[in-house]
Amino acid sequence: MVTTLDVGNPKDIHPKDKKTVGLRLAYIALNKTYHKNVAYTGSQFDHFKISDKQVKIFFKSKSLWGRLETSNGLAPKYFQIAGKDEKFYNANATIKGNKIILNSAEVKQPVAVRYAFVNAPITNLQNGKGLPPEQFRTDKWKESWIQPNLDFVPIIVSDKK
């Protein structure tokens, strides 16, 4: 599987940019099957640290392929942080060396982070080889929109008499 967060189209589940997807699949084969030293994955989340109102995101150094950057020179997009109230807010993100620094005026004491945890994000964060990181979350909170429908009662139909 490859990450296509940077080449997708929110209005079409099938990316038009087939070449990039094919190349990323080839990179996996070259690295995993043929044991070539080829970058095959984007930066992988390792851990995070909270100090005051800031969150520092650390990635596995081997997955950076030299650095973190954005494809367009702008700030990284689609980071969110939440406090103990479990409400996520968009975070301001900056790259500092090989980590991401996050903060949000709405969250005074952050406790959790999510990256690209929205429908159809077109991301701009990438490693030194131009590969985007996978989506991640640091919380295990239950989503309010995944609540079961308690009004629904299944009707069991049987042909046995």
Residue 96 lies in a domain: yes
User: Which structure tokens are listed for 53?
Assistant: 């109102």
Average pLDDT of every residue of the chain = 88
Asked whether residue 150 carries a pLDDT value surpassing 60, the answer given is no
Query: Can you tell me the mean pLDDT for 72-84?
Result: 97
Name the nearest CA neighbour of 57 among 98, 6, 92, 106: 98
Residue 90 lies in a domain: yes
Q: Three-state DSSP class for 155?
A: coil
Residue 15 lies in a domain: no
Domain holding 119, by residue range, is 43-139
Asked whether residue 12 carries a pLDDT value surpassing 90, the answer given is no
Residue 25 lies in a domain: no
Q: Total structural domains in the chain?
A: 1
Residue 149 confidence class, pLDDT cut points 50, 70, 90 = very low
Residue 19 lies in a domain: no
| Residues, the chain | 161
pLDDT of residue 146: 43
Residue 60 lies in a domain: yes
Distance, in Å, from the CA atom of 100 to the CA atom of 56, rounded to the nearest integer, reads: 6
Q: Three-state DSSP class for 25?
A: helix
Residue 3 lies in a domain: no
Asked whether residue 52 carries a pLDDT value surpassing 90, the answer given is no
Residue 148 lies in a domain: no
Distance, in Å, from the CA atom of 126 to the CA atom of 131, rounded to the nearest integer, reads: 5
pLDDT of residue 151: 46
